[in-house]
Amino acid sequence: MFGWTVPIVLALAGFCGGWWIRRHVTGSRRIGVWLVFLSLPFVILFGVLVSQMDPTLSAERNSNNLAFGFVLYSIVMAIPWFASIAIGAIIAKPKPEMKPKPVAPKRESQRQQPAEPEPDDGLPHWKHPDRPLLDPPQLAHLLRDMASRHGIDPELLPSFSPPFAGDGDYVFREKFDYNYVRMKDGKALFEHSSAVADQLLYDVFAELSRSCARSSDSGTEASRQDRAEFLAAIDPRWARYFLKVEGFSTA
């Protein structure tokens, strides 16, 4: 009925299937997969024989022919089928489980060393943002307290709110930084932003130093020196930074 083609195909399919199931199917699923795979060609054979039944014969004759043909061809098919499956399963090895490689302990020289403190150059260190940022009330209290301790009129301080109330200076906090803004006719004359409270305080008092400088000639060397002295009374690092920005020696 099938010639030599069917046994050869069965042998190849059985070998590949037996190898793959043994290699890749594990656990409780393996029994079900084996049962389905082993019975697959016989189910196909039964379907083929049923499709070739002669409608001119009686039902009893067709039934006898079907039973005889199924038994006969099953025996012929079973030999290459089961033999090839067994060979494939024997050759295959179960796929090894991937286990995490043990991590060797780091040597003393490889362990992360603590970050060295930044060298003290006498200037403010504003590289690292505040974590977390100060709340607006905390920032306002810090600014007012610093002004009070150095005899600065609190009326000169900026408003602690977003710049929605008209002209003036405003200090407020957004999600990731602090802001210091001066508004005039609905436009910002300047805006300083920083994620470091100390830097924002410097910006505020650096602006205040303009009105508090003894010299009335803005932009002159005397005026800049007055402003530096004003800032030094609050924080000497601020004064050195101011002089550096203004082009003076900080020695």
Q: Can you give the pTM of this predicted structure?
A: 0.51
Paired strand residues for 187: 184
Distance, CA of 167 to CA of 4 (rounded, Å): 99
What is Dmax (Cα atoms) for the chain? 127
pLDDT confidence bin for 203, thresholds 50/70/90: very high
* Least reliable range by pLDDT among 5-9, 85-89, 116-120, 141-145: 116-120
Shortest CA distance to 38 belongs to which of 72, 86, 1?
86
Inter-CA distances, 216 with 33, 123, 125, 224, Å: 95, 27, 31, 11
Q: Tell me: the pLDDT tens digits for 38-65?
A: 888 788 878 888 888 888 888 888 888 8
Regarding predicted confidence, which is higher, 173 or 85? 173
Average pLDDT over residues 187-194: 90
Question: How far is it, in rounded angstroms, from Cα 132 to Cα 175?
Answer: 11
Dihedral angle at the C-alpha atoms of 151, 154, 156, 157, nearest 10 degrees? 110
Mean residue pLDDT of the chain comes to: 80
Sign of CA dihedral 67, 73, 78, 84: negative
Instruction: Confirm if 22 and 33 have CB atoms less than 8 A apart.
Output: no
46 exposure class (CB count in 10 Å sphere: 0-12, 13-18, 19+): middle
Distance, CA of 244 to CA of 236 (rounded, Å): 12
Using pLDDT thresholds of 50, 70 and 90, give the confidence band for residue 28. Answer: confident
Higher pLDDT, 167 or 49: 167
Task: Look at 3-7, 70-74, 212-216 and tell me which has the smallest mean pLDDT.
Answer: 212-216
pLDDT in tens, 121-163: 788 889 899 989 998 899 899 889 988 888 888 888 999 888 8
**pLDDT of 251:** 43
Selected residue with higher pLDDT from 81 and 114? 81
